[in-house]
Structure 1
């Protein structure tokens, strides 16, 4: 897909919409005749990182639920702004497999990396390999506003390693139980607020020849997210702090054990469908209606938009709690920035990587991302008002209902535990072992990081 140079800031949406989730995009950035009337001015103030022209910028982008079109659209604008600057956007489904070797001596990593997906880099163990991004957030966006003033509060915390800001996460995901609002309305169901009533819904689903949940290979950790969120709501921030700080015995906290026991009941009752590879599992949920609920972040709406049934109204609800009187309100939610962008210190053109990231953080680029992917970004006020989407509407409602009771954690992504976590949960979801063994395996992963003297740890309050 070629994007004309005429399609600059005012028409980034059209470029982004053309990208299809989970399908590789052509690698080369767009080129073509420019339109001075439509292009923003490349004034000296727009060169805060010393970008040289001509030059080449290389970006490696995770080709998952959001595709790579949003980065390609920003790449097209970068070429529009600066004559002679070309951008190569390389899609991949395995970030570590694609770029890890490029950090070895004598090799050169790309200028910008979207560190996402199960095979992401373990940034905590290689933080010195990445450039500080303080100058990016201190610079002005394309609208002339300092980027730091446009971001949601706290979203930069996830990118701070050893006291340095080296990553900026782009998408703001609301997590919860995703379902079809139309299907639930037709059946007269509400998403249960407690695990007891959730199990009752599982019985109703079984009577209809359906499952309560479906899980897929490669996304087993989605059920860890569900478990942690539910446990934090039940037990409060002590649970969050214990897990995030890698405390001894954190996986045996009563709230965590209680939630894992409930999930073990779901497995034992046959309420969980093994859907095969995760994209196939998600199709069996959203297209075929074999399961009612899917725990996920907000990327799921865009990821499955092309395959879901025509009347599937993607909607998210808060996860259940163990009791009707949890420590945090029932409306409390997990929301966190995702899609971690990094600029390697030894890249050929780190200034180009930063400039591409600066363009992505403009109001218009962020709005176009939300329009296409049905998820907010870390840029405040960038969700288009004219988008009719149950996915966006439900996320907005959950954020409003939660108020200050929005929380997150980052130990699993920070320490690169994605693959090990999936492995631990896979055996549990297949009923190969129960909650007690799962907790032991997860605690072992936690202990290994805590006891590794080569890993710089963070602490949270």
Structure 2
């Protein structure tokens, strides 16, 4: 067993990526030697089969069952794949805790072929890439589109999509859902109370005061599993204050990136919101429990991505009408306008490099990235994809309409970060630090110091591969 692989296993075990103790993994690895690759299915390449898929080879797909559900896979993408390869058996399963279900299989190098790595218990994507467990998707992106003539798959995508899933120059992950983030609310509740969307921080706190006076919890998120929604909000405000390079510097583990004034000021502002306008009881709730309270008109504003409307479809009363607003400007001297938003290709899908059918896994992604595949996804989930023009002719929901309007108003002023998928240790720490800030009266100085400490630890750890953008 190589030293690189031994180092990864030790790191992964420590990070919780692998279910069994490091010692057990290392001894198991000795028996297998270095050549772990099993026989992999391969067919002849052709104009209709550019990736060389074995038409009869089984394909295994695992999809996270969360806000987007799984019907898009069972009702759209799997039938599309089967239409091209009718003799191939497609084995489908879903999971709410991806890491719990798939850790043992990646440890034993018997993974499924295509994985939707998402949710609060997702696998450490950076560690998987470092271990050689993730297929390079260059051939997929260079292949012709399934149903958009004259274009490669890459040509059909929203700019930045390939880069969002790139690790040190190679594309390993498809971020499929083009997600916009903001503060979600009921258009009906706003109209009934003559509330308007705030543009400044003063207007924002005045709105929260009005909600509080009406007996509505002004602002809420679920501390049990959704604190990453809130740290996204904090960092969005930081980017508005100091510019998008604030986030790029955090991604690149630049010295002192977490302790710049923009991050500290954003943490201070949001810590005050938590202290004055949130319920402490929400610390122990899950996201769907808090979201249900919003559907009952008990919560005014909820930070989330554009999957929210679909996730709450069964609990949303008629006339509620989801809508979303960008975060208000924090100061009069913000570097980015009030309309600027966090928006990015998200929801990770990857092919297992050591699976039995990586070519089939990439072909499955090609079907997802067809115009029809993307259109079907949006119809079922109310969420945009990274495929350009795929919503043409669709009647879209109130929340998606609002989300598209917010994106249009942002123009080129949208941004994202990637450290949370690169370095799971930082993501875990930020969730805990955010809950402390928002629910326990934590202060901004402690928040940024805590995050700088873990960022420095990651930077200095030679066993963790570093990524840059």
Verify same fold: TM over 0.5.
yes
Find the aligned partners of 1:51 and 1:136 in 2 and give their Cα distance.
12
- Deviation for aligned residue 1:180: 1.3
Verify the 8 A CA contact 2:241 2:334 in the aligned structure 1. yes
Superposed, 1:15-34 pairs within 5 Å as none
- Deviation for aligned residue 1:167: 0.8
1:367 to 355, 370, 375: 375
2:216 to 207, 210, 213: 210
Q: Deviations over 1:202-254 (max 9, x none)?
A: 21111111111111120011111111111101111331222222223222221
Find the aligned partners of 1:315 and 1:96 in 2 and give their Cα distance.
32
With the length of structure 1 as denominator, give the TM-score of the two structures.
0.86
Verify the 8 A CA contact 1:206 1:271 in the aligned structure 2. no
Verify the 8 A CA contact 1:173 1:375 in the aligned structure 2. yes
Find the aligned partners of 2:146 and 2:212 in 1 and give their Cα distance.
53
Query: Does 2:106 correspond to 1:100?
Result: no
Per the alignment, residue 156 of structure 2 pairs with 150
- Deviation for aligned residue 1:188: 1.3
Per the alignment, residue 315 of structure 2 pairs with 307
Verify the 8 A CA contact 1:61 1:90 in the aligned structure 2. yes
Verify the 8 A CA contact 2:126 2:421 in the aligned structure 1. no
Superposed, 1:443-454 pairs within 5 Å as 443-454=452-463
1:323 to 322, 328, 331: 331
With the length of structure 2 as denominator, give the TM-score of the two structures.
0.85
Query: Does 2:467 correspond to 1:458?
Result: yes
The structure-2 alpha-carbon separation of the partners of 1:375 and 1:389, relative to structure 1 and needing over 3 Å to count, comes to same
Per the alignment, residue 399 of structure 2 pairs with 391
Per the alignment, residue 61 of structure 1 pairs with 63
Per the alignment, residue 387 of structure 2 pairs with 379
- Deviation for aligned residue 1:82: 1.4
Query: Does 2:91 correspond to 1:88?
Result: yes
Verify the 8 A CA contact 1:215 1:272 in the aligned structure 2. no
- Tell which deviates more after alignment, 420-429 or 72-81: 420-429
- Deviation for aligned residue 1:388: 3.6
- Tell which deviates more after alignment, 322-331 or 290-299: 322-331
Q: Deviations over 1:290-348 (max 9, x none)?
A: 11111111111111111122221111111122113411111111111111111111101
Gaps of 5+ in 2: 1-43
The structure-2 alpha-carbon separation of the partners of 1:66 and 1:354, relative to structure 1 and needing over 3 Å to count, comes to same
1:220 to 219, 227, 242: 227
Question: Which secondary structure does the structure 1 equivalent of 2:232 belong to?
Answer: helix
Question: Which secondary structure does the structure 1 equivalent of 2:315 belong to?
Answer: coil
RMSD of aligned residue pairs (Cα, Å) = 1.9
Query: Does 2:168 correspond to 1:162?
Result: yes
Q: Deviations over 1:376-410 (max 9, x none)?
A: 10000111433142222222212221111111111
1:248 to 255, 260, 274: 255
Q: How many residues align?
A: 417
Query: Does 2:203 correspond to 1:197?
Result: yes
Per the alignment, residue 185 of structure 1 pairs with 191
Per the alignment, residue 442 of structure 2 pairs with 433
Per the alignment, residue 138 of structure 1 pairs with 142
Find the aligned partners of 1:270 and 1:181 in 2 and give their Cα distance.
20
- Tell which deviates more after alignment, 409-418 or 271-280: 271-280
- Deviation for aligned residue 1:60: 1.2
Find the aligned partners of 1:272 and 1:249 in 2 and give their Cα distance.
32
Gaps of 5+ in 1: 1-41
Per the alignment, residue 354 of structure 1 pairs with 362
Verify the 8 A CA contact 2:275 2:441 in the aligned structure 1. no
Find the aligned partners of 1:107 and 1:157 in 2 and give their Cα distance.
27
- Deviation for aligned residue 1:177: 0.9
Query: Does 2:293 correspond to 1:284?
Result: yes
Find the aligned partners of 2:47 and 2:210 in 1 and give their Cα distance.
61
Q: Deviations over 1:59-83 (max 9, x none)?
A: 1111111111112221122222213
Find the aligned partners of 1:157 and 1:220 in 2 and give their Cα distance.
26
The structure-2 alpha-carbon separation of the partners of 1:274 and 1:338, relative to structure 1 and needing over 3 Å to count, comes to farther
2:414 to 406, 430, 444: 406
The structure-2 alpha-carbon separation of the partners of 1:159 and 1:386, relative to structure 1 and needing over 3 Å to count, comes to closer
Per the alignment, residue 16 of structure 1 pairs with none
Question: Which secondary structure does the structure 1 equivalent of 2:221 belong to?
Answer: strand
Q: Deviations over 1:21-54 (max 9, x none)?
A: xxxxxxxxxxxxxxxxxxxxx9942222222132
Q: Give structure 1 regions of 4+ aligned residues with deviation exceeding 4 angstroms.
A: none
- Deviation for aligned residue 1:159: 0.9
